[in-house]
Each structure stands twice: as C-alpha cells, then as structure tokens.
C-alpha cells in the first residue's frame, strides 16, 4: 500500500457513426480511476461542436446519469482522470484542456510530466503567452497550436511539437475531425489502442479500460509514435520512434497499473507474481503464512507463496469505502488512516509467523502502522518483503515520489528500517532482478537507481508555476 499517488489516466474514442460517447468515455475512465482521483473530465465532439464537463472529484462525484445525458451524440471523445504532479488541485488544471486556436479547436488529455516544463513555459511566457492553469499539459497544447500555424495538418503540428518536449507524455488529442494519440519517445507511460465491434477505435492508458467498453486490444502505441484516426482511416507517424531508448516506468508494473492490464506486452499480474517469486528466492524465511498488503501486494504475495510453498492467506480486510472524500484523521493520533483502511483478520494471523509483502516503503510511516496492526492481532513474527528496490531518488516523470529528505531509504540502512517499522526481518527486491519482472532491460528505474533517462530539471516543485515569473527561480535539484 504505497504512500504514493498514481499520475493520470487518458481515454479517447473515434466511431464511424454518431453515438452516445459521453457514457462510453465515462466507463472507460471508470476502469482508470486508480490512476487519478483528484479530478476528471470528458469532452464530446459532435461535428466540431465540443461539449465539456469536468470538475474536481471522482467520476462518481462529477458525473451522474443526468450529467452524462447532457452530452450530445458524437463521433469523437476524449477523457481524463487526474492526480496532479505538476500544478495544484484546482478547476483550472482539470483536463481535458480545450483550446480555440487560429485553425480550429482542440481538446487534449495528458498522462505524464514534461521534465523541461519550467524552461518551456518560462520561454513561452517571456514571448507573451498566457496560461489559464499551472499544469504542464497547457504547455503541450500551446506548442501544438503554435506549430499548427506553420503546418498543413494537426498531426504534423503534433509531430513538430514533439521536437520541443522532454520527459513523459502519453496524450490523446482531438480536433474537429481527428483523434490523435501520441506517446513520448522514451515511452515512460503506457498507451494502447483497441477496436470496438462497430469499427470504432479506442485509446487508453491501460488495456483494462478497453475491456471495460467492449473493445478488443489491438496493440500498444509505440514510444514516439503518433496515430491519427479520421474518416479516411488510421495513420501512423513513426518519425520520432527510436530517437530515444525505451524506458517504460518499471513502477507501473510494481504498483501503478491495474493487475488485469497488459502494458507493452507484459501482464501486470504476472510481473508482480514474478517479483514475489524472486523475493522468495532472494529472501527466504521459515514462516507459516504469506500475507499481501491489499491491493498491490497481493499478486507478489501469491508469487512468494507459490515459490516458497508457504500457504497464502488473507491477512487483511480492506475497507473499499475509504476514498478521496473520506475525512482523514489528520493530526488526531488516536486514530490513523491506515487503521481505517485495513483491518487484520485476527483468526488468520494470531500466533503465526507471517511473511508480509508490500510494493514499497516510502517514508516508513504507513509500513510501521501496518506492521503494528499485525502485532496487535497476535502475529508471532513478521518478515517484511518489498517487491521493489528501496526508493532513493525523486521521480520527474509523472509520479509524486518525494524529495530525498523524505525517503526513509536515503537516511537509513535496511536493518535500521526494519527496526524503525518494527519487523523481525526486511528484504527488498534486488536492483539486478528488476529486469526479470518484464523480461528485458528497457525500463526506467531512476527512483531506485538514480539513472535518469533524460536530463533532469533544475527545479521541480509541483506548484512551481503558481509563482510569478520574477519569483520563479530555479531551486536546484530536489534534495
């Protein structure tokens, strides 16, 4: 149960005949809700007329049947769920972003983070650009609109814009007549394409959203690829493919993505089980029960159990109703949030030696509380195993992995962390075994290794665009 937030989820659909795309997009986004819970939005395009509804909150907060019925029928739609990693949580930063430019209209939804956002935006603002919000997505929209003035088509404008962008961006973009999906040349964030039974085309951050709307998985959008769909068919521009090495975020497999998704040909559930199997080999221990911390520790716990022969058990019940709107206990230390989310099943764990599997330890606070719950429930021994290496570096590509001063592994050795969180033993997935999870070495592991696949920004505060230009000084690398 990582103390981390996912980034965002995007969804786009093109159909040959007008139909109720508001609902279809809603259901696609619903399957991606785990990727962002701060805000959400849908834009439906009916022959160039864009109808937008977006707001802060979960899909169930922002949309009801009445709201969905207000969308007209259409042929193209894009949608977004957001957790903001650049720009604050406010209505101006909700997506999709809709802009009117000299050559028409555009709606755009983005997952990722531009690592050169500060330099780009400062340059644009010094040239007179105005921005409504403070997210880096507006920068992408602005540059595409600028390039559209010089190019014969929106897809050519997108291709030109990609020359300026650094970092992570999986984007769905809609003009009056076209749906375009693009993925950065590193391929940090996932993006896939599916086909609807009526010939419609769907793009989504994860394949689980294709299944949710009855679409058949067709293929992944390749890193650097631009796919355009319009009434003439589907076209792929691969001119940016292969310009960078592929560096898909390995933490998508460990924690962010849904276990039933397949990303770049690798099943998330299978990758997590492999992590569990590796942990069983690298950090064996005599125990009575393997318990996974719900939800993202469960698959790795199964793998550990299968490899070690130690039975798998349901050690915790997760309260499914603790969501974004739950009133957090905050400073009231008599009740903690973890206690509201997780409840140990006493009959399963009492008197037993437990192998406890989780996906990560960030600050250590949550892990300590989970271990405390098991101790209270009567566990005799607790041996914690983590299905990722220790976090030692911040992420600049669309997640909120923290500055170094907050990462427990930056300040303490593994035995010290074990003592702090109260486990008998602690073992992490070794760095050298990460490649076994997905069967290749084409991934980003910078938050573990410090090897960043792009230049890292000189400043990376989530709210750095909230400050006026004169006070927006580079603050140096995050500590």
* Catalytic site positions: 8
Smallest separation (angstroms) from ligand SF4 to the CB of 449: 9
Q: Which is nearer to ligand SF4, 46 or 400 (CB)?
A: 400
Count other Cβ atoms within 10 Å, centred on residue 470: 6
Whole-angstrom distance, CA of residue 97 vs CA of residue 121: 16
In the complex, what is the shortest distance from the CB of residue 424 to ligand SF4, in angstroms, rounded to a whole number? Answer: 29
Cβ-based nearer residue to ligand SF4, 220 or 445: 445
Q: How many CA atoms lie within 13 A of 341 on its CB side?
A: 19
Q: Tokens for 384?
A: 């914690």
Residue 401 interacting with ligand SF4 (CB under 6 A): yes
Q: How many CB atoms lie within 10 A of CB 211?
A: 17
Phi, psi of 191 (to 5 degrees): -165, 130
- CA-to-CA dists, residue 245 to 170, 285, 354, 417, angstroms: 16, 38, 41, 35
Map residues 426-445 to x or -, x wherever contact with ligand SF4 holds by CB under 6 A. Answer: ------------------xx
CB closer to ligand SF4 out of 141 and 447: 447
Q: Beta strands of 294-341 (E only): which ranges?
A: 316-318
**Residues in contact with ligand SF4, total (CB under 6 A)?**
12
What's the token pair of residue 254? 């460990």
Among residues 304, 392, 278, 408, which one has the least CA distance to residue 356?
A: 304
Choose between 222 and 307: whose C-beta lies nearer to ligand SF4: 222
The nearer residue to ligand SF4, 114 or 446, going by C-beta atoms, is 446
For ligand SF4, the closer of residues 169 and 188 by Cβ is 188
The answer, yes or no, to whether the previous bond of 306 is cis (omega within 30 of 0) is no
Judge whether 250 and 445 are in contact, CB under 8 Å: yes
For 201, the 3-state DSSP assignment is strand
Among 113, 119, 122, which Cα is nearest to 186's? 113
Q: By CB under 6 A, tell whether 386 contacts ligand SF4.
A: no
The encoded tokens of residue 3 equal: 């103390």
Measured between alpha carbons, how far is 348 from 337 in angstroms, rounded to an integer?
22
Residue 312 binds to ligand SF4 (criterion: CB under 6 A): no
C-alpha–C-alpha distance, residues 99 and 26, integer Å: 22
Alpha-carbon dihedral sign for residues 139, 141, 143, 145: negative
Q: Nearest-CA neighbor of 271 among 303, 309, 314?
A: 303
Site string for ligand SF4, 186-205 (x = CB under 6 A): --x-----------------
- Taking CB under 6 A as the binding criterion, the range among 204-212, 247-255, 365-373, 405-413 that sits at the site for ligand SF4 is 247-255
Distance between CA atoms of 433 and 442, rounded to whole angstroms? 13
- Selected from 251, 312, 460, 465, the binder of ligand SF4 by CB under 6 A is 251
Choices 21-29, 62-70, 318-326, 392-400 (CB under 6 A): range interacting with ligand SF4: 392-400
Residue selected from 397, 428, 460, 465 as contacting ligand SF4 according to rule CB under 6 A: 397
Q: Taking contact as CB under 6 A, which single stretch among the options 12-20, 317-325, 391-399, 461-469 is the one that binds ligand SF4?
A: 391-399
Q: How far is the CB of 401 from ligand SF4 (least distance, A)?
A: 5
Smallest distance from ligand SF4 to CB 113, Å: 9
Q: Which is nearer to ligand SF4, 159 or 170 (CB)?
A: 170
Query: 265 or 378, CB closer to ligand SF4?
Result: 265
| 395 touches ligand SF4 (CB under 6 A) | yes
Q: Which of residues 340-359 bind ligand SF4 (CB under 6 A)?
A: none
268 binds ligand SF4 (CB under 6 A): no
- Write down the least CB distance from residue 246 to ligand SF4, Å: 12
User: Quick one: 142 or 251, whose CB is closer to ligand SF4?
Assistant: 251
Among 447, 454, 457, 465, binds ligand SF4 (CB under 6 A): 447
Q: Interface with ligand SF4 by CB under 6 A: which range of 21-29, 65-73, 216-224, 395-403? A: 395-403
Question: Tokens at residue 83, please?
Answer: 């957790």
* Selected binder of ligand SF4 within 106, 249, 386, 456 (CB under 6 A): 249
Token pair in block for residue 343: 């409840």
In terms of phi and psi (left: phi > 0; alpha: psi -120 to 50; beta: otherwise), the region of 378 is left
Q: Phi/psi of residue 129, each to 5°?
A: -70, 145
> What is the sign of the dihedral through the CA atoms of 326, 327, 333 and 335?
negative
Shortest distance, CB of residue 452 to ligand SF4, whole angstroms?
Answer: 7
The minimum distance between CB 394 and ligand SF4, in angstroms, equals 8
Phi, then psi, of 103 in degrees rounded to 5: -105, 15
Distance in Å, CB of 435 to ligand SF4, minimum? 13
Q: What are the residues binding ligand SF4 (CB under 6 A)?
A: 188, 249-251, 395, 397, 399, 401, 444-447
């Amino acid at each position: 149960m990582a103390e981390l937030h996912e980034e965002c989820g995007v969804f786009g659909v093109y159909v040959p005949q007008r139909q109720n795309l508001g609902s279809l997009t809603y259901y696609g986004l619903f399957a991606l809700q785990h990727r962002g819970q701060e805000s959400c939005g849908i834009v439906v395009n009916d022959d160039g007329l864009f109808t937008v509804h977006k707001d802060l909150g979960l899909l169930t907060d922002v949309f009801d049947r009445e709201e969905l019925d207000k969308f007209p029928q259409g042929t193209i739609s894009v949608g977004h769920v957001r957790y903001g990693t650049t720009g604050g949580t406010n209505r101006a930063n909700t997506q999709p972003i809709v802009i009117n430019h000299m050559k028409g209209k555009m709606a755009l939804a983005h997952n990722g983070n531009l690592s050169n956002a500060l330099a780009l935006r400062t340059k644009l603002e010094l040239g007179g650009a105005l921005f409504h919000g403070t997210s880096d997505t507006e920068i992408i929209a602005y540059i595409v609109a600028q390039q559209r003035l010089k190019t014969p088509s929106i897809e050519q404008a997108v291709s030109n814009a990609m020359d300026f962008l650094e970092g992570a961006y999986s984007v769905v973009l809609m003009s009056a007549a076209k749906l375009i999906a693009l993925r950065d040349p590193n391929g940090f964030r996932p993006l896939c394409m599916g086909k609807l039974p009526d010939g419609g085309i769907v793009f989504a951050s994860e394949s689980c959203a294709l299944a949710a709307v009855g679409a058949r998985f067709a293929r992944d959008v390749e890193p650097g690829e631009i796919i355009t769909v319009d009434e003439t068919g589907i076209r792929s521009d691969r001119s940016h493919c292969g310009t960078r090495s592929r560096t898909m975020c390995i933490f998508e497999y460990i924690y962010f993505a849904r276990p039933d998704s397949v990303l770049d040909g690798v099943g998330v559930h299978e990758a997590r089980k492999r992590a569990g199997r590796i942990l069983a080999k690298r950090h064996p221990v005599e125990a009575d029960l393997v318990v996974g911390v719900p939800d993202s520790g469960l698959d790795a716990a199964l793998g550990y159990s299968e490899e070690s022969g130690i039975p798998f058990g349901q050690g915790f019940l997760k309260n499914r109703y603790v969501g974004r709107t739950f009133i957090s206990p905050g400073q009231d230390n008599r009740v903690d949030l973890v206690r509201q989310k997780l409840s140990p099943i006493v009959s399963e764990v009492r008197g037993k030696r437990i192998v406890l599997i989780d996906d990560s330890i960030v600050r250590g606070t949550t892990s300590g509380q989970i271990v405390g719950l098991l101790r209270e429930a009567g566990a005799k021994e607790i041996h914690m195993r983590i299905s990722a290496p220790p976090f030692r570096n911040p992420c600049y590509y669309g997640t909120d992995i923290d500055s170094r001063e907050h990462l427990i592994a930056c300040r303490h050795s593994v035995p010290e962390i074990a003592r702090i969180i109260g486990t008998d033993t602690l073992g992490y997935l070794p760095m050298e075994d990460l490649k076994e999870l997905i069967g290749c070495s084409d991934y980003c592991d910078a938050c573990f290794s410090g090897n960043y696949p792009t230049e890292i920004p000189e400043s990376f505060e989530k709210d750095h665009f909230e400050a006026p230009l004169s006070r927006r000084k580079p603050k140096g690398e995050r500590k």
